[in-house]
Amino acid sequence: MPARLIDTLATTGPLADLFADDSLLQAMLDFEVALARAEARLGIVPADAADAIRAAAKAGNFDAAALARQTLRGGTPGIPLAKALTAKVRAANAEAARWVHWGATSQDVADTGLMLLLKRAQPILTADLSRLEAALERLSDQHRNTVMLGRTLLQAAPPVTFGLKAAGWLAAIRRSRLWLEDAFQDALILQFGGASGTLAALGEKGFEVGRAMAKELGLGFPDAPWHAHRDRLASLVAACGVLTGTLGKMARDISLLMQSEVGEAAEPEGEGRGGSSTMPQKRNPIASALTLAAANRVPGLVAAFLAGMVQEHERGVGGWQAEWPTVAGVIQSTGLAIASMAEAAEGLEIDAEQMRANIEATGGSVFAEKAAMLLAAKLGRDAALELVGEAARRSEEEGRTLKEVLGEIPEVARALGSRALRDLETPEKYLGAAEELRKRLLVSEGREGSKPRKR
């Protein structure tokens, strides 16, 4: 099912399909099938009842719109779903109908259904993260010697390399990905506790049923039901928030580099990408815009989830009911940000000549620190700062380069010498440890294939 038009700037096609009505409905029905099958294997319900439940539990057999209306009345989707499934089973096997939803509670259905969707969402996010990481590593290697302005508080600063900038994006994304992997591992667990979370309706066989269900559904089996304890899911939501913020930082940088007066980078072109309805010359940062929109949206969703964690006793009132759209929004927004930045990174165009030209356009002012450090070793820090500061002011006023003005100051010329003055404004000669830092970031913890950390 395609995304609704109003959601198209907040999700991707695969994630829209994943959180569509039929997908969610089938995930909850899969819980009911796993429950019946586990109970049949343990002799709790008849085998033919489990077969009848399985045969009926197909999303296409149900009216999702009607279930949605009934959910609004019942406060949980589990109640109308259990009734509807019971009716479907009864139509084929009246005796089997009495065993539908045996020993479970409505929140068990809803929470486990959500876990099954998240289980399917993880490889979607992981695949796009792998694309993004691979593209950034290529960019970093390709541009390890591409010099560009450093920018601090949006002002020109001493040079860096684009390779280092890309490696910084990559390392931060890897760290976030590692947390996300841990959070998925912790969160993807079965919810099965019955009315008060004690499995009392199943007597001594509750744990056996739960373990069998978890195995069949491919979920972890927790030490106890977690109806009112949302910490694991909160960690996953928070991990998505951090990752989306990290991607937003990359998107902000790219969009700033794409400004017309900067012109150092450009997102890939393509049919229908980046154009304007009125200005045919434009090439807009669309992937960055979608990512920044997600980065604006997700923090509020994370906050909403955290606010809902304060739940009452064994089952919450309001906090739990707020979670479905919140979690769906977080996952879809995060997925959109990942996919958008993967597309941008794979086709990102870098204008190395413009990067160098922008350095030269500063008239050497970004090398004032270098000049001051060289002079401080000979003349002392205070004297050096005063001389370079005055030279920088003259350079700007007279429209000349910093090294030209400095070379006319006898005290400076004697202290630095002709070679140091000649090389003063060569970006490659003032990169410090940029390449070593880039290499360290590329091999930092969190590379693809590394094992998730244990917290």
Question: Taking the domains of the chain in order of start, what are their residue ranges?
Answer: 1-104, 110-189+226-360+432-455, 364-424
Count of helix runs (H) and strand runs (E) in the chain: 18, 4
Q: Determine the CATH number of domain 1-104.
A: 1.10.275.10
Residue whose structure tokens are 């940029």: 434
181 to each of 32, 235, 244, 379, how far by Cα in Å?
Answer: 28, 11, 14, 54
276: annotated active-site residue: yes
Options 1.20.200.10, 1.10.260.40, 3.40.50.970, 1.10.10.10; which CATH number does 110-189+226-360+432-455 get?
A: 1.20.200.10
| pLDDT for the residue numbered 455 | 37
- The number of residues in the chain equals 455
Nearest CA to 286 out of 265, 267, 258 is that of 267
pLDDT for the residue 3:
65
Active site residue 255: no
The 3-state DSSP composition of the chain as helix, strand, coil percent (nearest 5) reads 65, 5, 30
Residues in the chain, pLDDT under 50: 1, 276-277, 279-280, 447-455
Structure tokens at 195: 């009315």
Q: What is the pTM of this model?
A: 0.93
The pLDDT of residue 275 = 52
- Cβ within 8 Å of residue 419, ≥6 positions away: none
pLDDT at 272: 55
Q: Could you read off the pLDDT of 136-170 as tens digits, one per residue?
A: 999 999 999 999 999 999 999 999 999 999 999 99
DSSP category for residue 155? E
Catalytic residue chosen out of the listed positions 276, 414, 422, 450: 276
Rounded-to-integer distance, Cα 449 and Cα 166, Å: 20
Contact 441, 171 (CB under 8 A): yes
- Please tell me which residue in 138, 315, 356, 400 is annotated as part of the active site: 315
Q: Amino acid identity of 161?
A: T
Q: Which residues make Cβ contacts (< 8 Å) with residue 359, sequence separation at least 6?
A: 147, 148, 149, 159, 366, 427
363-408 tens-digit pLDDT: 999 999 999 999 999 999 999 999 999 999 999 999 999 999 999 9
Q: What is the pLDDT of residue 435?
A: 98
